[in-house]
């Protein structure tokens, strides 16, 4: 194989017990007597055939690709690496395994951002920076030691940092990506968890600003996703370490909480000269909190490249355009575009359903939601926005009949397909079996083109539901919701754990489905960009979180956005180059001007 090619075998997908080794039997070098595709020679489970190994020295490369086509489980990738990628990898997990090229460079007193798709090696990079994984410089058979790694980075901006890692002089505080897994590793209440982490004496301030005081004496098992996220951020920032790593701070948080978290991270970097590294898919928040940005690209699960640092604005814009200027590299065939448009004209379609005034209280009146009666129209996408703890998911459960109102009749006589906020797996079956049990459209050309492809389901069809990551689980849940036959499709926070491209593709899939199937869709989400691209009208919730919520009637996008963002005192502007909405700095000239004009989002 050419020096700029690699072969990757996904051992989770390789299932020799269900195939006839077509890859091995049809391989051209094998058929001439060479040993290109062989058996791994590793001990397999009793009665199970061995998985395969590909010799990268003998393989003909991507120009052949016969094994890729013949594998029925998409377990093989033969990839020509970009010609511009001259360096050896920082780390490779083994032959036919994932390779990482490049490392981010943490800087004291700064917030370093990483933007890239899931499965591209960001966590591997952090493990190396934390000293948990010794980089092997691609030499997985004869691994070098830290001294040789340091020599490889001599003269670079990472030299001093690598030396500190080698000497054990780096301490790290890390926030995990999937906060819903915290209860599995901690048994106790919030106060007990956080008091263990208060090394800087900053816990009281963090609890106040993140508004987690009301849950301090609650069991971790009883916290919502948004509460777990804020507790995880507080626990990470309360520690006194050299290096802070935060993996996705925004899932389950409303935009006000996202801005607060971003400000806390920036303050810790600036006021205490700490090194902060943040992986984030919410572009507005990444723009607000980062000083520099590394773009990550490649083939998820096969190889990843982390670029040199860029300015935040240029890094985000290059990532969206699909072309990296300094690297002279196209990373995506088509750009991700944000339309600079006035809000869609309000639909005058027939009414699908009218819902009355509704009231629902929990406990002894500890929380009360009051819903002002309104209408949901046929063939529209109705967006729902508002802070966490204000009753949006309660409203969804009232519509679906999962909750009964205290006042009003919520029996809408509708077939509703519902994706809940928190996607839990209680079935042990494969993805394809699960989805085919929902719809008779499974596998049809329409279903494949309009649902499976944009949601990137092809490569996970053979996997078990219980083995899926949070983002994969989310995409399957969206597909399941859209695959059902219903009068109303209700999706609660479909953007959680999706990367930028996945969010755009999911948004397009939902919007196209609504338009092509004349479907009515109700979407609850905190991603402002997603809501702008999706919704025809907006329903705004306000009140006092965890105490009292009020749901207004559906209204135009302009009026709804202005009401929602005015409550949060946040304004957006448009990037001159890409039309991407960007959060204005508080009390900046543009921020004050837009507030005076009452245009918080759709500014002229």
Over residues 285-337, the pLDDT tens digits come to 998 899 999 999 998 889 999 999 999 999 999 999 999 998 888 888 888 87
Shared domain for 203 and 146, answered yes or no, is yes
Q: Which residues of 306-341 are buried (b: 16+ CB within 10 A; e: fewer)?
A: bbebbebbebbbbbbbbebeebebebeeeebebeee
Whole-number pLDDT of residue 145 = 86
CB 593 within 8 A of CB 329: no
Overall domain count for the chain: 4
**Is residue 599 assigned to a domain?**
yes
- The DSSP annotation for 32-86 comes to TT--SEEE--PPPSTT-PPPEEE-TTT---TTT-HHHHH-TT--EEEEE--TT--
How much is the pLDDT for 44?
Answer: 53
Tokens of 561: 């956005």
How far, in Å, CA of 476 to CA of 514, rounded?
18
Residue entry with tokens 């279903």 = 447
Segments of the chain scoring below 50 in pLDDT: 2
Q: Taking the alpha carbons of 348, 351, 353, 359 in that order, is the dihedral positive or negative?
A: positive
17 with 39, same domain?
Answer: yes
Asked if residue 18 belongs to a domain, the reply is yes
Considering only CA atoms, which of 475, 497, 505, 500 is closest in space to residue 580?
A: 500
**Nearest to 220, CA basis, from 245, 178, 189:** 189
> Closest Cα partner for 316 from 342, 340, 280, 268?
280
Read off φ and ψ for residue 603, nearest 5 degrees: -70, 140
pLDDT at 327: 86
| pLDDT of amino acid 61 | 85
Look at the alpha carbons of 133, 109, 120, 136 in this order and tell me if their dihedral is positive or negative. Answer: negative
Residues 125 and 272 in one domain: yes
In terms of domains, do 174 and 131 share one? yes
Q: How crowded is residue 125: how many other Cβ atoms within 10 Å of its Cβ?
A: 26
Confidence (pLDDT) at 604:
63
Other beta carbons within 10 angstroms of residue 552's beta carbon come to: 18
Tokens for 229?
A: 């996220």
Q: Which residues of 66-89 are buried (b: 16+ CB within 10 A; e: fewer)?
A: bbbebbebebbbbbebbeebeeeb
DSSP 126-184: HHHHTTSS---TT-SSS---HHHHHHHTTTSTTHHHHHHHHTT---EEEE-S-GGGHHH
In this structure, is residue 303 part of a structural domain?
yes
The answer to whether the CB of 328 falls within 8 A of the CB of 322 is: no
Taking CA atoms, 390 is separated from 355, 360, 383, 386, in Å, by 19, 12, 15, 7
Residue 473 tokens, joined: 């689980």
Do residue 390 and residue 497 come from a single domain?
yes
Question: Do 19 and 120 share a domain, yes or no?
Answer: no
pTM equals 0.82
Helix (H, G, I), strand (E, B) or coil at 416: strand
Q: DSSP assignment of 198-235, as one string?
A: -SSS-HHHHHHHTT-GGGTTSBGGG--HHHHHHHHHHH
Structure tokens at 188: 């106790």
Supply 24's token pair. Answer: 């091995």
In tens, the pLDDT along 213-233 reads 988 999 998 888 888 999 999
Same domain flag for 528 and 590: no
- Rounded Cα–Cα distance for residues 223 and 595 (Å): 35
Do 324 and 361 lie in one domain? The reply is: no
CA pair distance 313, 317, nearest whole angstrom: 6
In a domain, 154, yes or no: yes
CATH number at residue 401: 3.40.50.300
Q: Please state the length of the chain.
A: 604
Contact 220, 188 (CB under 8 A): yes
Determine if residue 387 is left, alpha or beta; phi over 0 gives left, psi from -120 to 50 gives alpha, anything else beta. beta
> Do residues 460 and 9 make contact, with C-beta atoms less than 8 angstroms apart?
no
d(CA 96, CA 329): 24
**CA-CA distances (angstroms) from residue 233 to 209, 266, 381?**
11, 13, 33
In a domain, 341, yes or no: no
The answer to whether residue 325 sits within a structural domain is yes
User: Which pLDDT score, from 0 to 100, does residue 377 have?
Assistant: 93
Domain match, 177 and 312 both: yes
Based on its alpha-carbon atoms, the radius of gyration of the chain, rounded to whole angstroms, reads: 25
CATH code (residue 26): 3.30.70.20
What pLDDT is attached to residue 118? 85
Give the model's pLDDT for residue 306.
Answer: 94
Residue with tokens 């640092």: 309
pLDDT of residue 343: 58
Closest CA to 496 of 296, 282, 338: 282
Boundary residue ending a domain (330, 363, 398): 330
- What is the separation of C-alpha 529 from the centre of its chain, rounded to a whole number of angstroms? 14
Is 300 part of a structural domain of the chain? yes
- 259 and 115, same structural domain? yes
What pLDDT is recorded for position 81? Answer: 79
Query: Is 420 inside a domain boundary?
Result: yes
Owning domain of residue 520: 351-555
Residue of 264, 252, 266, 263 lying closest to 206 (CA atoms): 264
Residue 84 pLDDT: 57
Please indicate, yes or no, whether residues 45 and 189 belong to a single structural domain of this protein.
Answer: no
Same domain, 326 and 187: yes
């Amino acid at each position: 194989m050419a020096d700029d090619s690699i072969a990757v075998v996904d051992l989770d997908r390789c299932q020799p017990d269900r195939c006839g080794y077509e890859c091995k039997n049809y391989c051209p070098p094998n058929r001439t007597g060479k040993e290109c595709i062989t058996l791994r020679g590793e001990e397999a489970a009793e009665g199970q055939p061995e998985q395969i190994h590909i010799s990268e020295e003998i393989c003909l490369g991507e120009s052949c690709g016969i094994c890729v086509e013949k594998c029925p489980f998409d377990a093989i990738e033969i990839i020509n690496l970009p010609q511009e990628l001259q360096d050896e990898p920082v780390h490779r997990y083994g032959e036919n395994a994932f390779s990482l090229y490049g490392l981010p460079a943490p800087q004291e007193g700064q917030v370093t951002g990483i933007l890239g798709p899931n499965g591209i090696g960001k966590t591997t990079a952090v493990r190396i920076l934390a000293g948990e994984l010794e980089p092997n410089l691609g030499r997985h058979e004869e691994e070098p030691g830290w001294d040789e790694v340091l020599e490889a980075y001599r003269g670079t901006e990472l030299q001093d940092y690598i030396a500190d890692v080698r000497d054990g002089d780096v301490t790290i505080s890390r926030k995990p990506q999937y906060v819903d897994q915290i209860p599995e590793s901690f048994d106790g209440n919030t106060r007990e968890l956080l008091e263990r982490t208060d090394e800087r004496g900053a816990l009281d301030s963090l609890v106040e600003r993140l508004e987690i005081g009301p849950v301090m004496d609650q069991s971790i098992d009883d916290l919502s996703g948004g509460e777990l996220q804020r507790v995880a951020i507080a626990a990470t920032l309360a520690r006194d370490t050299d290096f802070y790593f935060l993996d996705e701070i925004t899932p389950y948080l409303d935009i006000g909480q996202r801005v607060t978290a971003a400000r806390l991270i920036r303050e810790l970097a600036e006021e205490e000269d700490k090194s902060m590294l943040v992986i984030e898919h919410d572009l507005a928040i990444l723009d607000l909190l980062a000083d520099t940005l590394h773009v990550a690209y490649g083939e998820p699960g096969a190889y990843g490249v982390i670029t040199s640092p860029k300015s935040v604005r240029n890094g985000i814009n290059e990532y969206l355009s699909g072309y990296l200027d300094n690297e002279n590299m196209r990373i995506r065939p088509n750009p991700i575009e944000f339309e600079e448009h006035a809000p869609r004209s309000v639909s005058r379609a027939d009414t699908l359903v009218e819902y009355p005034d509704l009231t629902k209280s929990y406990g002894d009146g500890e929380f009360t939601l009051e819903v002002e009666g309104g209408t949901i129209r046929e063939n529209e996408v109705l967006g729902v926005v508002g802070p966490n703890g204000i009753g949006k998911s309660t409203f969804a459960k009232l519509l679906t009949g999962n909750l009964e109102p205290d006042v009003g009749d919520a029996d809408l006589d509708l077939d509703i397909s519902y994706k809940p906020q928190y996607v839990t797996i209680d079935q042990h079956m494969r993805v394809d079996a699960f989805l085919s049990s929902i719809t008779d459209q499974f596998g049809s050309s329409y279903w494949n083109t309009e649902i499976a492809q944009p949601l990137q389901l092809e490569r996970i069809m053979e996997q078990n539901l219980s083995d899926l990551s949070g983002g994969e689980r989310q995409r399957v849940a969206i597909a399941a919701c859209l695959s059902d036959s219903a009068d109303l499709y209700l999706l609660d926070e479909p953007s959680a754990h999706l990367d930028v491209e996945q969010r755009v593709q999911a948004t397009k899939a939902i919007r196209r489905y609504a338009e092509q199937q004349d479907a009515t869709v109700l979407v609850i989400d905190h991603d402002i960009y997603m809501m702008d691209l999706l919704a025809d009208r907006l329903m705004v919730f306000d009140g006092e979180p965890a105490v009292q919520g009020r749901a207004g009637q559906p209204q135009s996008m302009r009026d709804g956005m202005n009401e929602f963002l005015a409550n949060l005192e946040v304004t957006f502007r448009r990037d001159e180059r890409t039309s991407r909405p960007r959060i204005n700095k508080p009390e900046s000239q543009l921020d004050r001007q837009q507030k005076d004009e009452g245009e918080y989002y759709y500014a002229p």
